[in-house]
Amino acid sequence: MTTPRWRGTVIYLGSLAAIGAAGFTKFAVLAPTSTSPESSTDGTAAAAGSVGTGQSDSTTDPATSTGAGSTSDAGTTTNDTVTIVGSSVQTRYGPVQVSVTFTAGQISDVQALQVPGGHHESVQINARATPLLAQEVVDAQSAQIDTVSGATYTSEAYAESVQSAIDQRG
Amino acid sequence: MTTTTWEAPPLAPLAQPRRTRARSGVLPTLWLGVLAVLVFWWTGTAASTGGTPGGALMSLGELAGLLASYLVCAQLLLIGRVPWFERGIGFDRLVAWHRSLGTSVVLLVLTHVALMIVGGSLLDGLSVWSEVPAVLATQPYLWPAVIGTVLFVAVGVSSARLARRHLSYEVWFAVHLSIYVGIFLAFAHQVAGGTHFVDSPVARGLWILLYAGTAAALLTWRVVLPLVSHRRYGLRVSAVVPEANGLASVWVHGHGLSRLDARGGQFFLVRFLTPGHRATAHPYSLSMAPTDDHLRFTVGALGDHSSAVADLRPGTRVQVEGPFGTFTADRATSDRVLLVAGGAGVGPVRALAEELLAQGRQLVVLHRAHDAASLALAAEFTPSPHLTYVPVPGRRAQLGYDPLDPQHLRGLVPDIASRDVFVCGPPAMADAVVRAARAVGVPRSAIHREELDS
């Protein structure tokens, strides 16, 4: 039996069509409805209080509005505490976004709002990496931190998001 | 050992005519696997990944890579001599699907590479040219994957029709074997770097299982079982008998060969373990129903190695894989059968005739050859009330007509429309017979063909 000519190429073109259709459905058709729940489930796990409101469009920089919101929030507290949301940084594994809390001019806390990955198991990796990264930032009082092995991309994007928060604080 | 003459046995009770085999679930299963990969990608991809063009392109690149990786396993299983596949689809069609998917896989791998580079460069804000070294420096196991990709492309190119015409079997085979290295090298970057695997031990486990299962199947049916049967049957060449112009019969002796469960019309992949033959396995058809201690292959002077069997010494060890093929007596639906043999096709036709006669069917054998001296095994078709042997020697140019065109075919076999037609020979001849048989009213389901091409 001879192999039908071009059958392999036809299968390839069919695969390309399937890939394109899957991508179109996922990213163009479903994206507007599923972006916010997706990122909020990813991000709100550790996010505190009013900070979550800055998430409506995670790809643009929401820091100003949220920063303002947080500042008013901070006004009710006794200390000079302000929480600023850093920019959302795309990595090949997904977006990374943090909020940085400043207490009396010092970085007192960092919370991960968005972390990469669509699997539930990503929680495990981030459960390991994000506290380490947060501690590094608090220790260094800057975004000059070492990467956590096994989470290189997350670490780099984490630092970038922290830096953007620091820059906004001025 | 001399050639056996063989007489038509007394009319046996007619075997229950069997319909053609039930459709197998092999190919639907394969396509279901593709669907499973799509679902796997879908559930593991956040819609926000497509928020940037780079992220979307990379995600689609990953899907292309996942599909290619899955199809590689499918391809290996197709040629893995898995009994379920062989029974359901048949060796020839499996090889054809393996070839087709090969084209798809190589193109998908290249698509994957292109999308990952372009998408990554958009995401990282780098030019395409600086993206490549950047990714190679950071992504785990990407260098081995690059080498693997080169091997994939080499195998694809060497298997293209144009290249195969200029490459010897040995070179092609050596390049093809290197794909196992390529697959191995490309595997680690998938589970260590793929976004769908880094985060998910479950997905990683399943993917490793897919590859381990494929490897186990290959080891079982392409390595271990052939070695076991090689020891068990102890096959050796017992005689090489010239039959006619350019045709010789190779008799192979062994023990307990009935356990092979081989049937007339089937073929084995045969490898003679002697210098000059060791590297190549050839598809040789049985030319008589196998006995418990003998197989006989009647081999044509087609291809460079087939023609060298005349030099084989008795005692040469023989390794066989098989039996393969669905050109068998149980395909017949009528109690009257026409067998058309051309060139070396007379071997399988001779073996098939033996079984069809044993089933009590009434046969006409048309034996086509360039000249009377090329009518191999003619003496074995002993005429009887159940068997009419019609030699049709002569080139078309000398005859001035094609004895296998519809008009002449009907002249030779007036009741052809009510017969099953089995044809075995060179592709052009098989095509001509199928066309002629259709033209004189043989239903498609009653036409059974086997081509000899190497």
Domain boundaries, chain A: 31-169
pLDDT digits (tens, 9 = 90+) for B325-368: 888 898 888 999 999 999 889 999 999 999 999 988 999 999 99
A128 in contact with chain B, both atoms CB, cutoff 8 A: no
Average pLDDT over residues B18-31: 67
Whole-angstrom distance, CA of residue B268 vs CA of residue B286: 8
Q: Give the chain B residue nearest A151 (alpha carbons).
A: B198
Q: Using the beta-carbon criterion (under 8 Å), do A19 and B64 form an inter-chain contact? A: yes
Name the residue with higher pLDDT: B35 or B85.
B35
Which residue of B104, B200, B427 is in closest CB contact with A121? B200
* Per-residue pLDDT band at B23 (split at 50, 70, 90): low
What is the count of residue pairs from A and B with beta carbons less than 8 Å apart? Answer: 138
B403 in contact with chain A, both atoms CB, cutoff 8 A: no
* Per-residue pLDDT band at B301 (split at 50, 70, 90): low
* Per-residue pLDDT band at A123 (split at 50, 70, 90): low
ipTM over 0.85: no
* Residue B343 DSSP code: G
B185 in contact with chain A, both atoms CB, cutoff 8 A: no
Q: Using the beta-carbon criterion (under 8 Å), do B67 and A90 form an inter-chain contact? A: no
Average pLDDT over residues A67-95: 65
B192 in contact with chain A, both atoms CB, cutoff 8 A: no
* Per-residue pLDDT band at A51 (split at 50, 70, 90): very low
B89 in contact with chain A, both atoms CB, cutoff 8 A: no
Name the residue with higher pLDDT: B174 or B150.
B150
B55 in contact with chain A, both atoms CB, cutoff 8 A: yes
Q: Using the beta-carbon criterion (under 8 Å), do A152 and B451 form an inter-chain contact? A: no
Lowest mean pLDDT among A47-56, B374-383, B405-414: A47-56
Q: Give the chain B residue nearest A20 (alpha carbons).
A: B60
Q: Give the chain A residue nearest B54 (alpha carbons).
A: A92
The reported pTM is 0.71
Paired tokens of B143: 């260098």
**pLDDT at site A38:** 39
Residue B451's DSSP bridge partners are B425
Which residue of A2, A15, A94 is in closest CB contact with B49? A94
CATH domain A31-169 topology: Sufe protein. Chain: A (3.90.1010)
B162 in contact with chain A, both atoms CB, cutoff 8 A: no
Contacts of B43 in chain A (CB under 8 A): 118
Q: Using the beta-carbon criterion (under 8 Å), do B47 and A122 form an inter-chain contact? A: no
Other beta carbons within 10 Å of A14? 12
The 3-state secondary structure of chain A, one letter per residue? CCCCCCHHHHHHHHHHHHHHHHHHHHHHHCHHHHHHHHHHHHHCCCCCHHHHHHHCCCCCCCHHHHHHHHHHHHHHCCCCEEEEECCCEEECCEEEEEEEEEECCEEEEEEEEECCCCCCCHHHHHHHHHHHHHHHHHHHCCCCCCCCCCCHHHHHHHHHHHHHHHHHHC
pLDDT digits (tens, 9 = 90+) for B179-194: 999 999 999 999 888 8
